[in-house]
Chain A
Amino acid sequence: MEHAETAGNKIVFSVWFGLLGLTVFEVILAYRQLPLETMLTVLMFLSVIKAALIIAYFMHLRYERASLFVTLIPALVFVLIMMTVIFADSSRLAHMRSLVQ
């Protein structure tokens, strides 16, 4: 029942630096004159990486039995993917404006 292995200092701090590094990179990126869509995609990509690092090492999921990961994460991801369907509308909404004050 005791976890076979767990993150040692070396890993923990490298993850920490990794996260900080990514954050700084994001901030720098924010000041580049990129189109919003590109920026959004890149930032989200980086954030997902950060989230993955946190889940894997800080939240220790990497060292749990695979079945835990296999049941939790796909469920979450699936629901989130389904939720993105709503964006099909918001883009439409922009050019179906109706009332003027």
Chain B
Amino acid sequence: MGKAFAVVLTIITTVSVAIFVSRHWWFPEAASAHGGAMDHQFVETFVGAAIGFILAQLCLAGFAWKYGERKGDARPIRIFPGGAKWLIVLALVYVGSEIILLEFVGQKVWAAMYFTPPAAGSLQVQVLAGQFAFYFRYPGPDGKFGPIHTRKIDETKGNFFGIDSSDPESKDDIVTVDLAVPVNQPVVLLLNSKDMGHGFYIPEMRIQQDIVPGMEIPLHFTPTKIGRYEIACNQLCGLGHNTMRAFLDVMSEEDYQKWIVEQASLQ
């Protein structure tokens, strides 16, 4: 029975590790400035975790294989050499190094995204999430957003954003259903929700942030690859949670200018 356990456990271990290493299932390719660093840190963590995983599982398997009790077995038990001492040292070294490496060396990404303010002159886009759609608002020429009057929100009149049309700051604002940004330009998203807690998740951009009603949460990143990416809601927000999605179009500068003009004309 012990031998069987050893064999099965070894198989499970090898298969699991093999699948990870094969990268058959892996992140979508990173398309933002900080994506590479994040992937790098993941790989580092993965190596550390894999070592621990393989060693622990194989030791367990080995012991189960080796130390099964046989009939009329009178062999004396053996205490682990050095008792608990070396195991504690091992644990401290293993986890300790993980902590120092990952926590303190590897937090650049987090710091870059949340501690440092967005680069000057980055494109500001306001996001309003609601059951079950995202809307996006560009400040227009004056670079200012008017306030969101939830009282004024009226889908039938196409006022998705609760814009007070008399408000000078709101006049030139451009509301869209998809998010479009020029490539290689830093973007600041100002995330708002009008009803539930929502999520804002773009795997390829390596960004995710919960959207909390009553708060305007800034989130900045720099897309580096032209393309169309899905924006998913990743915080349970009700019935249509899984249908709540929008698209991020990363365009070349000139395409973006065309697009924004076109959108402005549609207002």
Contacts and interface: CB of A to CB of B under 8 A. Distances in A.
B150 interface: yes
Nearest to A98: B216
Interface residues of A, number: 7
B220 interface: no
B214 A101 contact: no
B149 A101 contact: yes
A97 B149 contact: no
A94 B162 CA distance: 22
B217 interface: yes
Nearest to A92: B215
B202 to A, nearest CB: 21
B150 A96 contact: no
Contact of A96 (B147, B162, B193, B216): B216
A100 B217 CA distance: 16
A73 interface: no
A98 B192 contact: yes
Contacts of A96: 215-217
Contacts of A72: none
Nearest to B217: A96
Among A96, A97, A100, A101, residue most surrounded by chain B Cβ atoms (within 10 Å): A100
A66 interface: no
B164 to A, nearest CB: 9
B149 A100 contact: yes
17 contacts: A93-B214, A93-B215, A96-B215, A97-B214, A98-B148, A98-B192, A98-B216, A99-B148, A99-B162, A99-B194, A99-B213, A100-B147, A100-B148, A100-B149, A100-B150, A101-B149, A101-B151
Interface of A: 93, 96-101
